[in-house]
Every structure is written in structure tokens, then in C-alpha cells.
Amino acid sequence: MRVHGQHLRTVTLEGSVVVLIDQTLLPHQLAFCRCATPADTARAIRDMTVRGAGAIGATGALGVAQAALLAPDSGYFDQLRADAAVLRATRPTAQNLFAGVDTVLHAALAETTPDRSRAAAVAAAQAFADDDAACCAAIGAHGAPLIGERARVSTHCNAGWLAFVDWGSALSPIYAAARAGRRPFVWVDETRPRGQGASLTAWELAQEGVEHAIIADNATGHYMARGEIDLVIVGADRIAANGDVANKIGTYSSAVVAARHGIPFYVAAPTTTIDPATPTGADIPIEERSADELLWTQGVDADGVWRRVRTTPAGATGRNPAFDVTPASLIAGIITERGIVPATAAGIASVARRGPSAGPPA
């Protein structure tokens, strides 16, 4: 996608260094984080320097390739497994992370010598990243017909190109429709507590010249009730075998209100997000993050200085689930790179991938 007219990807591998757009600094500063070791790469995933299902998955894949490049010949395969396990353990919900790590590790362990394994790991990691970008472009092509002239689209969190290698999932159909001249308008939920909608989605849409407005998360129902939202498209962090979807906290609320007002609610995700081994949404592990994300706010003040301020009473406590589950019954369809399928067991099975993403190698 374009940033000041320049094409960028969210994550790349330069030699043995994993290079990421530092999402913690956006929208105020575009900067890159250079991860020199697998431990650095794991830290970047864990502290949300990189965020978004596809971007996390590609970072995990490139992190395994990095581990292969840096592991010594002596004890190579044991070190590779250990580094991959650290990467895999960074976040519990996003299925793409496990798909990326496991895909590259399978390729690397299929070889019998360190040199051949390193080459296989790098090739598999690059192919995984390229596949993510290609899938998201295809999601845009399949989803764009849903967006009519001047359609008013609601989304939640960031599921744009920053959340993937390129194009994104939920925003990809919007970008495709905009480039086709349909002039969509996007309601951007701020997405408390980390504000990925307000900081990342709004920044992306501005780069692409797509008209939008940032609103408080709890204003979405207001605009639905007033007839000012035509459809909803959100991303996903994991899709269960029955069509239930885990996504950023607040997605379920949006889906419930959309159903109340007869507004179609779509989920956009590449098939790497599908986990056939997870039967239903109730089986998806939900990450709970530090309550500090609720109790404190950070940003740039009027003088351009980064500050972190407490916005809650001293001594207050909080609970901070990062995701919720939207049941399949509330979803009009799932937009994948293979087309739009119903959020049913049969629909999911028709597009679900099989292979390494089902679990780590022994």
C-alpha cells in the first residue's frame, strides 16, 4: 500500500534482520523496528510493536527463518525448535501466528543439514509473507462488489495493510472499491483501549484518500439506528470450524447491534486465520492484557512530546480482554481469498487449509 506515495510492506527480512513498521509510534511517526535476534522479534510481537493477525503471522514466519540463519551448526535443529517455540508463545489468540511459525518450521525440519534447512526456512518464510499479501489483494477483489457507490461502511480495530503484509482484510474491499471510483465512507471505531482504529485505521485511510470519521466505540449503534451505516466489515484473529469468529474486543457488540437493525455484518480474513482444530468460538483462548492499557493513555501533546498519563483514579483496577467471540449466526458471510462463504461448518470446510498450520512439528 502507499505511504506518501511510496509502496511499503509491514514486515520484511533484510539479511538475518526482521524489519517491522513500529505501530506503537503511529500515526505521529513512521519508523521501523529492526529485530536482530529471534528474541527481539518475539518481543516485538509480544509488546505489539507489530500487531494484526496477518502481520503477526508473517513476523512469526520470518522470525523462524531468522532463527535458522542465526543458529550455529552445532545443535542447530534443537536451537531452531527452541526459538520457534518462543515465537509461538508470544500471543495466544491469533491463528496466523501459529500458521506462520509452523509452516516455516516444517519446511526447515524437512531438511537434513543446517545449510539446506536455512535455505528452506528463508524460502518458506518469504512464500508465507507473499501469500499473505496475495490473499489480502484477492479478499479486496471478492469483497469490493459488496460496497456500492458512496456506501457507508463500519469497521472495528485495524484490519488494514498494517495488520497484514499488504492490502489488509477488512479494509482491502474498501480500498478496491475506492480505487474503482465508488467513493466509500468509513466509520472508524476508535477501538479502546489501545485505539487501533483511531491511530492506525484512520491513518491508513488518509494515505489512500478514503473519506472517514473516527467515532467512539459506543457511538456505532447510534449511527446504525439512524440509518447511516450500510454494512459492517471487520477482520478476524481466529475463525473456528463452525464459523464463530474471534476478533478485537467490541466486535461482538457491533455484530449484535447490526443484527438488531438488519445491517449485514461481514468478516474478512485469509484462510490462514481458520483453525479447523478449534470446534467453536468457546474453544478459542482469549488473551487478557495488562489493565494498564485501560488505566493509562499515551500520545503526543500540543508540543509534540510523547506523554503517558493516567486517566483513572489512583488505585483503580481493571480487566482487559483483548478479544471477544462473535457467533456465526450473526455473520452474513466470510470474505476469503477464495471467495465469500457462509459462516457455517460447511462453508468453513470448503475453504479451510490443511497442513502445517494444524500444529507444530514434533
308-321: pLDDT as tens digits: 999 999 999 999 99
The string of pLDDT tens digits covering residues 12-59 is 999 999 999 999 999 999 999 999 999 999 999 999 999 999 999 999
Nearest partner of 125 among 69, 81, 86, judged by Cα: 69
Does 237 participate in catalysis according to the annotation? yes
Query: Which of the four pLDDT bands, split at 50, 70 and 90, describes residue 361?
Result: low
Neighbours of 214 (CB within 10 A): 18
What is the reported pLDDT for 3? 80
Separation of first and last alpha carbons in the chain: 38
Grouping H, G, I as helix, E, B as strand and the rest as coil, residue 95 is helix
Name the CA radius of gyration of the chain, rounded. Answer: 20
- Residue 74 buriedness (CB in 10 A; 0-12 / 13-18 / 19+): exposed
* pLDDT surpassing 50 at residue 293: yes
Tell whether the model's pLDDT for residue 358 goes beyond 50: no
Closest among 5, 107, 91 to 54, alpha carbons compared: 91
Q: What is the pLDDT of residue 360?
A: 61
- Residue 354 pLDDT greater than 80, yes or no: no
Q: What pLDDT does residue 253 have?
A: 97
User: Same CATH topology for 2-138 and 141-358?
Assistant: no
Contact 197, 158 (CB under 8 A): yes
Among 255-259, 276-280, 352-356, where is mean pLDDT lowest?
Answer: 352-356
Q: Does domain 141-358 have CATH number 3.40.50.10470?
A: yes
pTM of the prediction? Answer: 0.93
Confidence of residue 355 (pLDDT cuts 50, 70, 90): low
What is the reported pLDDT for 353? 84
Mean pLDDT, residues 297-316:
92
pLDDT digits (tens, 9 = 90+) for 228-271: 999 999 999 999 999 999 999 999 999 999 999 999 999 999 99
Which member of 102, 230, 237, 324 is catalytic? 237
Averaged pLDDT of the chain: 95
Q: Does domain 2-138 have CATH number 1.10.3720.10?
A: no
Has residue 359 got a pLDDT over 60? Answer: no
What's the rounded Cα separation, in Å, for the pair 331 and 119?
A: 42
pLDDT in tens, 136-170: 999 999 999 999 999 999 999 999 999 999 999 99
Domain ranges of the chain: 2-138, 141-358
What gap in Å lies between CA 336 and CA 236, rounded to an integer? 11
pLDDT tops 70 at residue 362:
no
